Structure 1
Amino acid sequence: MAWLAGLAATEGPRAGRAAVAGVGLGLLANGILAALGLAALLETAPQLWNALRYAGAAMMVWLAIEAWRGSAAGQEPAAPAQGPRRAFATGALINLLNPKAYIFFLVVAPEFTRGARLDLRSAIVLALVSVAIATLIHLVVVAAGARAHDWLGDPRRTRTVRRLFAVVMLGVAFSFLAGDLGQTRG
């Protein structure tokens, strides 16, 4: 959500809404892949879990580097670091590389299926409900971030906010890696 707010604040609401659409697609894919068994596989295959976790952390580090580079002195704040297409793709990829998003369906689904295995139809319905709720929340986050867009017309403010979000993204990457430090999978 911090990435969505930062994107809308620094690049405008259009990029933020495109990212929300990508996030929604990623969440829908999470639900379908969970129904097809990926969530259960992640739960039982620590190597796959770790590979996905490391890929997610790498993605967040890449976002942090991009945000920091976008804060370089002399860069025009009006020149977006990424267009709506790239924001959409990044939003989808962030969710596809988030192992916790898959496990969410593994943990939550039994509450809605009375303990039965999550079939594709139920997974799609659950994913659509999840996407609808998340999209509403994300659109509010983007709208709030977009309100700061004009304020960020000052290059110094833009640089400061981009660097702040770069640090937040590094924190998220670290959480992907350190979240299980006290636990051993497998």
Structure 2
Amino acid sequence: MASYGLFLLLATLTILSPGPGVVLTLSNALRHGWAGALPGIFGIALGALVVAGISASSLGLLLAASTTAFTLLKYIGALYLLYLGIKMWRTQSFVPTLKDSEARPGRRFVEALSIQLLNPKAGFFFLAVFPQFIQPHGNYYSQFLLLVTSYSLLVIALHSGYALMANSARGWLSSRRGARIVGKLSGMTFLGFGVMLASASK
């Protein structure tokens, strides 16, 4: 495989860049701790696998070619990000309440998975970037599997690092003032991502 090290560098920079998944990981870690953020991290990683698989199939090419399909998925994803933004904006505390502690990890997993699946830009990343690192005379599927598996493992490793950093700040966020500040910032970030996704073009 050509330039595998370059691919790992590009993937690392892409995953580390601020995005809805990163913000969700940080907020989950602040609310539920490092271990509590893991279901969401695994959801994002699985979403990457699914989106990559779709991108490698004829369905991915259909989404890339169809303006209607792209627009529909784009607006659904934007609405979901706006919903999360409003939810975070209204946050009053990052200290788990009884209701929070009873929230099932599966819900965090599905929430993170949904963010990844409803973002058409993720699919275009795989469509545009992955072919650059696949040798045309090699086995396409084995190379593709290596790239997407590496990407998903990097998601788990790097997002876990984000979660550890956020977990160390939970003491300050035990105050109402700290929670309101971070809640408003997170909410505005999600709202901003939602607006940008809604206005994005292919």
Alignment TM-score, normalising by the size of structure 2: 0.79
Distance 1:69 1:88 in 2: 21
Distance 2:54 2:126 in 1: 10
SS at match of 1:12: helix
The answer to whether residue 200 in structure 2 is matched with residue 179 in structure 1 is yes
Aligned-residue offset at 1:31: 1.2
Gaps of 5+ in 2: 1-21
CA contact (8 A) 1:14 1:84 kept: no
Alignment TM-score, normalising by the size of structure 1: 0.85
User: Relative to structure 1, is the Cα distance of residues 43 and 164 closer, same or farther in structure 2, using a 3 angstrom cutoff?
Assistant: same
CA contact (8 A) 2:91 2:179 kept: no
Distance 1:76 1:2 in 2: 14
User: Relative to structure 1, is the Cα distance of residues 166 and 129 closer, same or farther in structure 2, using a 3 angstrom cutoff?
Assistant: same
The answer to whether residue 96 in structure 2 is matched with residue 78 in structure 1 is yes
Distance 2:56 2:142 in 1: 9
Give the AA of the match of 1:152.
L
CA contact (8 A) 1:31 1:127 kept: yes
Q: 1:168 aligns with which of 189, 196, 199?
A: 189
Give the AA of the match of 1:98.
N
- Report the counterpart of residue 178 of structure 2 in structure 1: 157
Distance 2:172 2:78 in 1: 31
- Report the counterpart of residue 73 of structure 2 in structure 1: 52
Aligned length: 178
Aligned-residue offset at 1:162: 1.2
Give the AA of the match of 1:37.
S
The answer to whether residue 86 in structure 2 is matched with residue 65 in structure 1 is yes
Give the AA of the match of 1:135.
I
User: Relative to structure 1, is the Cα distance of residues 76 and 99 closer, same or farther in structure 2, using a 3 angstrom cutoff?
Assistant: closer
CA contact (8 A) 1:34 1:106 kept: yes
SS at match of 2:95: coil
- Report the counterpart of residue 50 of structure 2 in structure 1: 29
Identity percentage over the alignment?
Answer: 25
- Report the counterpart of residue 139 of structure 1 in structure 2: 160
Distance 1:138 1:78 in 2: 21
